[in-house]
Amino acid sequence: MQTSCHEVRFTLPSIEVAGKAWGDPQGLPLIALHGWLDNAGSFDRIAPLLENVHLVALDLPGHGLSGHLPAGGYSLWQQAATVLQVAEELGWQRFALLGHSMGAIITGIIAGSVPERITAAAMIDGLLPFTSEAEDAPRNMARFFEASLAAGEKRKPVYDSVEKAVSARVLGGTTPISRDAASLLVERGLMPAHGGWTWRTDPQLMLPSPLRFTNSHAAAFIEAIRSPACLILANQGVMHRHPHVLEQIVRFEHIQQHRLEGGHHLHLEQAAPEVATILDSFYRALA
């Protein structure tokens, strides 16, 4: 059990990326990717429970302590490219992945695109991105343009205490989350502002996607995964809001699938030990 962690930082060609690292540098190289609007604190509960891994949890660009990208810079494939740049900085030609939600989607994209570099891919309550078909592209792009033009008029909220920011995260999130879990994310997600606290997160991340994969695109990445793969689904998680997605996931027979009681952030809540047990067994099997 690796209980201690330390901060890491990577100077990439276009951005500074921060993160947290646990474990023995001689252990299995493992990069962990958090969900949308979360940060590396997403893995604080399970990382110490994983044996024989060198886990590096990133703050993806625009999140946590990492830098922000220029206008229009965020996409799933851009985030995936950043992960590969970090792997280069670490000197990891081959490595494993662990992703939650958006991070799980990015994990699938990387594992399907460069399967020769990925030794294993584990995903928590996430696999396929939101998709749309070709005929929807003009409307989606128009929504992005409209929101981008209006973004300059918006201001980040300022809270007079960290506790109020935690409450805002609990009440205002897109998925239910416990106060304890929210506290771990908020700790890394705030910065001082105007005598109070505001979010570090890049507001651009709130913009609608200008371009989405089609269903066929999304499925092709998952079908192209060649490494051992594992998916942990929360019985009260985000995937269960979309039964048609669950039906599609069942067809990916090359992915181990586990279902646990809990919400979308089950790895930060009561189910964390169960999640860690599944992941520990999954990564140990690689040896």
Residue-number span of the structural domain to which 127 is assigned: 5-131+214-284
With respect to residue 47, please indicate whether it lies within any of the assigned structural domains: yes
With respect to residue 28, please indicate whether it lies within any of the assigned structural domains: yes
DSSP state, residue 129: P
**Of all residues in the chain, what percent carry a pLDDT higher than 70?**
99
pLDDT of 8 strictly over 90: yes
With respect to residue 148, please indicate whether it lies within any of the assigned structural domains: no
pLDDT of 7 strictly over 90: yes
With respect to residue 53, please indicate whether it lies within any of the assigned structural domains: yes
163: CB partners within 8 A, 6+ apart: none
- pLDDT, position 210: 94
One-character DSSP codes across 35-78: -TT--GGGGTTTGGG--SEEEEEE--TTSTTS--PPTT---HHH
The tens digit of pLDDT for each residue in 26-50 reads 999 999 999 999 999 999 999 999 9
pLDDT of 107 strictly over 60: yes
With respect to residue 141, please indicate whether it lies within any of the assigned structural domains: no
**Domains contained in the chain, number:** 1
- pLDDT, position 3: 61
Band of pLDDT at residue 122, cut at 50, 70 and 90: very high
With respect to residue 193, please indicate whether it lies within any of the assigned structural domains: no
Task: Give the CATH number for residue 248.
Answer: 3.40.50.1820
- pLDDT, position 278: 98
The tens digit of pLDDT for each residue in 184-199 reads 999 999 999 989 999 9
From 101, 148, 161, 216, active-site residue = 101
- pLDDT, position 179: 96
Question: What number is the average pLDDT over the span 134-162?
Answer: 92
- pLDDT, position 152: 77
Task: For residue 101, indicate whether it is catalytic.
Answer: yes
Q: Which residues of 149-186 are buried (b: 16+ CB within 10 A; e: fewer)?
A: eeeeeeeeeebeeeeebbeebbeeeebebeeebbbbbb
With respect to residue 178, please indicate whether it lies within any of the assigned structural domains: no
With respect to residue 137, please indicate whether it lies within any of the assigned structural domains: no
Q: Which residues of 26-63 are buried (b: 16+ CB within 10 A; e: fewer)?
A: ebbbbbbbbbbbbbbbbbbbbbbbbebbbbbbbbbbbb
Band of pLDDT at residue 2, cut at 50, 70 and 90: low
pTM of the predicted model as reported, rounded to 2 decimal places:
0.96
The tens digit of pLDDT for each residue in 261-272 reads 999 999 999 999
